[in-house]
Every structure is written in structure tokens, then in C-alpha cells.
């Protein structure tokens, strides 16, 4: 049971990192990154491939973060001077193209059958301790990311991001380089998603393209929106609710609602879609906060 809770906890914390990444981009800056999973995938594969080639894990994780951040930069350059919708659709497309590349460039990525045998973090520790140590590391990583974000967001940089989110024209009129601030937010957030990906690869030790479908992106979106965009603690709470929901629906069969696997998956996403629509209609600032129009 403890092992199960730690396993769920590790996945939940990886999702928390993804949610924090999206919260920086969407919650604080108003960027619609529908391609979040691409940066998660880049982080996972870069760290996986490098460590399989003998790089120290710590170093390959750092390179993974940098690679995910670097991949976001041209995307930002291309779309962020245009209407928000452009980033939204182009990012979805980007994440699908990334997945196509992972599937087809088998010499590098192992192709559709994936990349087995990615080295673990704390490989020397006894198995029971290993996951516990990873769990603690992730807790520390989340605390560090939250602390950095809070620090950053209190600084003039964060105030500018929020002004860009709330009224772009006004921010531009005050002489802020709106596109540059948006790009930096996208790049920084993608770096965090890359970190999540690196942890994911070293935890599962096996990564394949089918783990990086747009479904991941929209799971994180619902967590951020339910938790209350722009509030780090709310977003963490939203992520735990999401994981509870995903894990909880797994037990539907035990209470006598017989659905096959594909129907169960479909039902989850129908509910996620419904939740998105209802949130936008009735509680656009999240479930746990006093409502003000975003």
C-alpha cells in the first residue's frame, strides 16, 4: 500500500511540475500552450538518450531542461506577435510533429517500441528506498520551482507578465516589449516541463511515443483551470484532484459499473471536456477562489 501511494505520489508530483509550467505560461501570462506535452517529451527523450549514452544522470537532466526551453523559443518567435489562437493551434501541431519524429527516427529514439532501460535515479539504493528518495527529490524540486516562481512573480518581471495577461495593449503602451516577455515566459515554462519529462523518464525507465499524446496536455490544462489559473497552490491542489479523478475512475468497475478499458478512457475525457466547458461558463477563475472575470 505504501509503495502504491509513493508510486501515485511520484506521478502526481511530476504532473505538479507540468501544472506549474503551464501555470506560468497560461495562469500568469495568458499563453495558450496546447502543446505542453511536446516539451515534456523532449525533456524525457533528451535525458533518456543522453544517460543511455553514459552521461551522468544529473548532467543529462540539466541538458534536457535546456533542450526543452530551447525548443520553445522558435515557437514563441513565430507565434507570439500574433493573436493568441495562433500559438494554441500551432503548439498542438508541434506536439504531434514531435511525436511523429519520435516514432520515425528509430536510430535515435527507438521508434514506436520506445526507449527501454533508461537508468534510474538513486540506482545504488535498495529498491524500497529508491522510490522514497525520488519522491523526496521531487518534493524538493517542486518547492524550489514554486519558490523561484513566487520570487520571480513578485519581481518587476512577474508584474509585467500579469499586465501582459490582463491588458496587453496597456502593457505595450507603457513601453513593455510584450512579445519578448511572452517568449521568455514560454521558454521558462517549457524548461520546467522538460524537467518533469526528465524525472518521468528516469522514474519509469521506459519511454515510448504513445506516452506523449495530447491527452497529457489537456489533463494538465484541466488541473490548472480547476485549481485556479495563476495561483500556484491552487494549481497543486487541482493536480491532486486530477490524479484522484484519474485513479478513482479506475475503480468504477469495482462498484459495478462495467465498462471496457476504451470506454472508461473515453468517459474520463468526456467528463474532462464537460468540466472545461462548465468552468469557462460558470467558474472561470477556478473552483476554490472568489470569482472575478479573467
Partner 1 sequence: MPSLIQLLQSVVDGIANGAILALIAVGLSVIFRLNKFVNVAHVDLATVGAYATLFLVSGFLPVFWLAALAGIAVVALIGYLSHRLVYRRLDGQRSITLIITSIGVAFMLRYLVTFIWGSNQRSFDLPLMRAVRFGDIRISPYDLTIVGIAVAIFVGLFVIMRYTSLGRALRAVADNPSLARVSGLRTEHLLTIIWVAASALAGIGGILLAVKTVITPYLGWAMLLPAFAAMIFGGVGSIGGTFVAAIIIGIVSEFAAMYWLPTYRLAAIFGVIVIVLLLRPQGLFGTKAVAK
Q: How far is 42 from 241, CA to CA, in rounded Å?
A: 26
Q: How far is 27 from 157, CA to CA, in rounded Å?
A: 15
In 10 A of CB 110, how many CB atoms?
A: 22
How many residues sit close enough to partner 1 to count as binding (CB under 8 A)?
45
Task: Tell whether the torsion through CA atoms of 225, 226, 232 and 236 is positive or negative.
Answer: negative
Q: Taking CB under 8 A as the rule, does residue 104 contact partner 1?
A: yes
Residues between 223 and 242 that touch partner 1 (CB under 8 A): 225
Question: Please, what's the largest Cα pairwise distance for the chain?
Answer: 61
Minimal distance, residue 175 CB to partner 1, in Å: 19
In 10 A of CB 62, how many CB atoms?
A: 17
Cell readout for 33 is 500552450
Q: Among 37, 65, 92, 207, which residue interacts with partner 1 (rule: CB under 8 A)? A: 92
Minimal distance, residue 192 CB to partner 1, in Å: 21
Q: Among 45, 135, 199, 221, which residue interacts with partner 1 (rule: CB under 8 A)? A: 221
Q: Which is nearer to partner 1, 70 or 103 (CB)?
A: 103
Q: Which is nearer to partner 1, 70 or 276 (CB)?
A: 276
Q: Which is nearer to partner 1, 150 or 210 (CB)?
A: 210
Q: Is 198 helix (H, G, I), strand (E, B) or coil?
A: helix
**With DSSP H G I counted as helix, E B as strand and the rest as coil, what are the percentages for the chain, rounded to 5?**
75, 0, 20
Minimal distance, residue 112 CB to partner 1, in Å: 10
Minimal distance, residue 163 CB to partner 1, in Å: 15
Q: Which helix (H) or strand (E) holds 18?
A: helix 2-22
Q: Taking CB under 8 A as the rule, does residue 269 contact partner 1?
A: yes
Minimal distance, residue 106 CB to partner 1, in Å: 12
Q: Among 59, 84, 129, 180, which residue interacts with partner 1 (rule: CB under 8 A)? A: 84
DSSP 8-state secondary structure symbol assigned to residue 118: P
Residue 28-67 contact track with partner 1, rule CB under 8 A, x = bound: --x-x-x---------------------------------
Minimal distance, residue 187 CB to partner 1, in Å: 18
Select from 134, 152, 132 the least CA-distant residue to 144: 152
Cell readout for 146 is 514554486
In 10 A of CB 53, how many CB atoms?
A: 8
Q: What is the binding site for partner 1 (CB under 8 A)?
A: 30, 32, 34, 78-79, 81-86, 88-90, 92-94, 96-97, 100-101, 103-104, 218, 221, 225, 262-263, 265-270, 272-277, 280-281, 284, 293-294
Amino acid at each position: 500500500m505504501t509503495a502504491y501511494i509513493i508510486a501515485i505520489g511520484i506521478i502526481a508530483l511530476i504532473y505538479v511540475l507540468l501544472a506549474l509550467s503551464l501555470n506560468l505560461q497560461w495562469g500568469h501570462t495568458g499563453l495558450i500552450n496546447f502543446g505542453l506535452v511536446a516539451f515534456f517529451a523532449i525533456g524525457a527523450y533528451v535525458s533518456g538518450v543522453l544517460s543511455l549514452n553514459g552521461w551522468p544522470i544529473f548532467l543529462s537532466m540539466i541538458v534536457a531542461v535546456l533542450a526543452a526551453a530551447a525548443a520553445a523559443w522558435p515557437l514563441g518567435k513565430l507565434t507570439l506577435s500574433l493573436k493568441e489562437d495562433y500559438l494554441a493551434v500551432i503548439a498542438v501541431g508541434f506536439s504531434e510533429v514531435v511525436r511523429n519524429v519520435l516514432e520515425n527516427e528509430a536510430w535515435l529514439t527507438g521508434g514506436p517500441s520506445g526507449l527501454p532501460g533508461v537508468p534510474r535515479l538513486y540506482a545504488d539504493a535498495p529498491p524500497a528506498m529508491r522510490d522514497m528518495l525520488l519522491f523526496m527529490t521531487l518534493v524538493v524540486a517542486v518547492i524550489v520551482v514554486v519558490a523561484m516562481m513566487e520570487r520571480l512573480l513578485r519581481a518587476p518581471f512577474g508584474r509585467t507578465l500579469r499586465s501582459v495577461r490582463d491588458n496587453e495593449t496597456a502593457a505595450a503602451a507603457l513601453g513593455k516589449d510584450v512579445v519578448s516577455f511572452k517568449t521568455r515566459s514560454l521558454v521558462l515554462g517549457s524548461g520546467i516541463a522538460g524537467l518533469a519529462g526528465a524525472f518521468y523518464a528516469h522514474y519509469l525507465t521506459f519511454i515510448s511515443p504513445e506516452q506523449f499524446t495530447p491527452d497529457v496536455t489537456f489533463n494538465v490544462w484541466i488541473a490548472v483551470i480547476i485549481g485556479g489559473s495563476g495561483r500556484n497552490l491552487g494549481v497543486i491542489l487541482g493536480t491532486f484532484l486530477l490524479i484522484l479523478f484519474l485513479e478513482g475512475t479506475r475503480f468504477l468497475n469495482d462498484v459495478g459499473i462495467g465498462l471496457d478499458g476504451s470506454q472508461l478512457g473515453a468517459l474520463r475525457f468526456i467528463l474532462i471536456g464537460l468540466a472545461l466547458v462548465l468552468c469557462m461558463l460558470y467558474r472561470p477563475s477556478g473552483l476554490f477562489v472568489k470569482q472575478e472575470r479573467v
